[in-house]
């Protein structure tokens, strides 16, 4: 009996323990249900929605770039992009389906399957971020994919904006070296820009204004949410959750499209070189040309891009701010100014012995460009006729220290601070030998013969076209302005006074007027009907080919509003090649600013021919400009 009682007690104890365990489990279950359905219901509702709701970024359109008159230089055009959204394809789909999608897609857009898989499984992007496989696809390709879209889970057809370039009188784009281009982010670059909100397949400005103003032009992407089913196919959307993109800001340049077009047409496509036109009063660049040029769309084609990079003519080089050249005779005003400031001579007094076409210096015979000689000359006559012998004597009298001091006073030997140099191009400093120690270090000794070359802008002296335009501006107004292409930069940088008396600058401008208007002047071919032009020719010897042709101009001489520097590489004589180019640009400039001379111009806009067929372009701007004047020469004779 005792044993039975004990057995009953053990059973009751086990029952109580089991009941207690059940109560505890039931309590945990109730608490868990409370947390799921009451306390944390909002969190799990959002998680549930995420299983069917997926974010899709909406690309913001880049800002438009306009010239100073409001004419569009760079716009946006619609473009088709084929993408894969990884979660739609990789979740809830059989491997065989994935293989079929990759195979059919690779065939449709002409991409290797291995490349599609590599991009699809890349770890360098967010999982929900669309993998953009191919941009600018044709409407035919879009139609083929659209027909099979239901059987291609994860594949999306996006309409995005791409850069479009208006046509100006059949030429597009204008000013590619100023505008720059937009391209895909490099893998190394992505690490730096990812914290700024860039995605792996985004594009950004690479050079020029596109790079310089990237933060303003870019805008802010939006986002939309779509509903997908278990097979990754889109079945709906959530308009109330859509965040609209914010377009980029528009940029206005100092460039005048009419002058830019005239400059690009004047420097014939068969020539390499540079043209810089600037307002000397404020540093605004009115035109900047570097030939040969390129089309920004070339960056999107690997073959075209490789051809540009390997081209021996270096079309990607911005010669205006990166090319370093001996300036030749357009630098003769430096020793002339030094001599006038030092009181060594007067502009209209005869100096030195007569030029007989050559000078015996030591054991060398140094020749003038005019073999018959110029006779005895004043400084005025020497600059008007560009006599080398006169400046050999003048250079020896001025000396390298004084010559270097005045050359540096006009901004040579240092970058100008041009804004687009910060847009990925960089700016060359040029070279100004400072003193005899430079030659002793480089050549082991100093000889006075080095000064002969420097006096005529040859030898070790090197300058960029932009530096020479700044120098021309200083001759015109007495201050060094900081050249710039962004209109918003005007007035932000105070001018740098040149330590030269106004009387000396007036005398030099008077002489430069005679260079163009005197019957013996070497710059006669730069005369224009509408203004008093002052200028200077230059013909710089080039060890790699024909001489470089230069011309420097400022106008009107009594109140300079524009300065122009023209360089034609291997062009020959400056007075024969560069001066006529300058005349064409000046004619266009003064026709533009004089209402009674301004020809009627019709302006319409269109995109260039890189827009794909089938994309609706109704309402897109089209720019067709006819600025050719009656009897205008279409080619330049060398």
In contact, 78 and 613? CB cutoff 8 Å = no
CA-closest candidate to residue 86, choices 141, 114, 126: 126
293-320 mean pLDDT: 89
Residues 455-476 as b/e (b if ≥16 CB within 10 A, e otherwise) read bbbbbebbbbbbbbbbbbbbbb
CA 123, 129, 131, 135 dihedral sign is negative
The answer to which of 236-240, 371-375, 447-451 has the lowest mean pLDDT is: 236-240
Using an 8 Å Cβ cutoff, are 205 and 423 in contact? yes
| Residue 612 pLDDT exceeds 60 | no
Give me the DSSP letters along 253-269.
BS--HHHHHHHHHHS-T
C-alpha 213, offset from chain centre: 10
SS3 category, 123: coil
pLDDT band at 4 (very low <50, low <70, confident <90, very high): low
Cα separation, 257 vs 160, in Å, equals 28
Q: Residue 93 — very low, low, confident or very high, per pLDDT cuts 50/70/90?
A: low
Cβ atoms of 431 and 464 within 8 Å: the answer is no
Mean pLDDT of the chain: 84
Three-state SS at 478: coil
What integer pLDDT is reported at residue 114 of this predicted model?
Answer: 84
This prediction's pTM: 0.82
pLDDT one-digit tens code per residue, 463-482: 999 999 999 999 999 999 99
DSSP characters over 287-299: EEEEES---GGGG
Query: Can you tell me the distance from the alpha carbon of 320 to that of 427, in angstroms, rounded to the nearest whole number?
Result: 9
Supply 137's token pair.
């696809």
Percent of all residues in the chain with a pLDDT value above 90, rounded to a whole number? 53
Tell me the per-residue pLDDT of 377-411, one tens digit each, with 9 for 90 and over: 999 999 999 999 999 999 999 999 999 999 999 99
Would you call 290 helix, strand, or coil by DSSP? Answer: strand
What is the Cα–Cα distance from 531 to 499, expressed in whole angstroms? 28
Lowest mean pLDDT among 102-116, 288-302, 382-396, 535-549: 102-116
- Does residue 6 carry a pLDDT above 60? no
pLDDT digits (tens, 9 = 90+) for 123-148: 666 666 778 888 888 888 888 888 77
Residue 175 parent element (H or E): none
Q: What pLDDT was estimated at residue 488?
A: 95
Kindly give, in sequence order, each residue whose CB lies less than 8 Å from that of residue 313, ignoring residues fewer than 6 positions away. 272, 292
Amino acid 601: pLDDT: 39
Residue 151: predicted pLDDT = 76
Lowest mean pLDDT among 318-322, 465-469, 471-475, 598-602: 598-602
């Amino acid at each position: 009996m005792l044993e039975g009682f004990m057995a009953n007690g053990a059973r009751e104890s086990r029952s109580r323990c089991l009941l207690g365990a059940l109560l505890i489990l039931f309590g945990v279950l109730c608490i868990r249900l409370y947390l799921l359905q009451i306390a944390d219901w909002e969190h799990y509702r959002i998680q549930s929605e995420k299983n069917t709701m997926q974010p899709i970024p909406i690309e913001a359109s880049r800002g438009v770039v306009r010239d100073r008159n409001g004419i569009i230089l760079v716009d946006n055009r619609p473009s088709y992009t084929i993408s894969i959204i990884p979660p739609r394809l990789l979740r809830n789909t059989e491997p065989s389906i994935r293989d079929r999608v990759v195979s059919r897609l690779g065939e449709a857009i002409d991409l290797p399957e291995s490349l599609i898989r590599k991009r699809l499984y890349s770890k360098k992007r967010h999982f929900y971020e669309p993998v953009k496989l191919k941009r600018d696809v044709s409407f035919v390709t879009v139609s083929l994919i659209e027909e099979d879209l239901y059987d291609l889970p994860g594949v999306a057809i996006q309409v995005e904006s791409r850069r479009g370039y208006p046509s100006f009188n059949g030429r597009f784009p204008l000013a590619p070296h100023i505008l720059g281009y937009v391209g895909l982010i490099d893998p190394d670059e992505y690490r730096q820009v990812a914290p700024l909100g860039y995605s792996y397949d985004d594009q950004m400005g690479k050079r020029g204004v596109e790079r310089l103003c990237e933060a303003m032009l870019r805008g802010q992407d939006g986002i939309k949410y779509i509903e997908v089913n278990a097979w990754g196919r889109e079945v709906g959307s959530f308009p109330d959750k859509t965040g609209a993109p914010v377009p980029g800001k528009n940029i206005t340049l100092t460039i005048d499209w009419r002058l830019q077009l005239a400059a690009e047409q004047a420097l014939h496509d068969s020539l390499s070189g540079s043209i810089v036109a600037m307002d000397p009063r404020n540093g605004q660049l009115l035109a900047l040309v570097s030939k040969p040029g390129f089309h920004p769309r070339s960056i999107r084609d690997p073959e075209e891009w490789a051809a540009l990079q390997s081209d021996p003519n270096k079309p990607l080089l911005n010669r205006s701010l990166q090319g370093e050249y001996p300036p030749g005779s357009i630098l003769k005003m430096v020793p002339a100014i030094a001599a006038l400031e030092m009181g060594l001579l007067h502009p209209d007094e005869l100096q030195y012995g007569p030029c007989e076409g050559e000078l015996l210096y030591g054991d060398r015979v140094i020749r003038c460009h005019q073999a018959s000689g110029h006779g005895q000359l004043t400084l005025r006559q020497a600059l008007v006729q560009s006599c080398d012998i006169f400046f050999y004597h003048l250079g020896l009298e001025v000396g390298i220290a004084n010559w270097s001091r005045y050359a540096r006073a006009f901004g040579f030997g240092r970058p100008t601070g041009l804004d687009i140099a910060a847009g990925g191009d960089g700016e060359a400093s040029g070279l100004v030998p400072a003193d005899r120690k430079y030659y002793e270090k480089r050549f082991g000794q100093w000889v006075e013969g080095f000064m002969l070359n420097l006096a005529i802008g040859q030898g070790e002296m090197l300058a960029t076209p932009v530096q020479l335009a700044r120098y021309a501006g200083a001759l015109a107004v007495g201050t060094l302005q900081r050249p710039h292409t962004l209109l918003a930069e005007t007035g932000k940088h105070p001018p740098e006074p040149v330590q030269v008396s106004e009387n000396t600058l007036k005398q030099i401008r008077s002489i430069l007027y005679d260079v163009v208007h005197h019957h013996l002047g070497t710059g006669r071919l730069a005369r224009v009907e509408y203004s008093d032009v002052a200028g200077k020719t230059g013909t710089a010897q080039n060890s790699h080919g024909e001489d470089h042709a230069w011309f420097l101009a400022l106008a009107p001489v009594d109140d300079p509003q524009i300065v122009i520097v023209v360089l034609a590489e291997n062009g020959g004589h400056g007075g024969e090649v560069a001066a006529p180019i300058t005349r064409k640009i000046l004619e266009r400039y003064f026709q533009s600013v004089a209402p009674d001379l301004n020809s009627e111009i019709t302006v319409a806009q269109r995109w260039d021919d890189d827009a794909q067929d089938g994309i609706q372009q109704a309402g897109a701007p089209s720019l067709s400009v006819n600025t050719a004047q009656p009897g205008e020469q279409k080619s330049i004779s060398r």
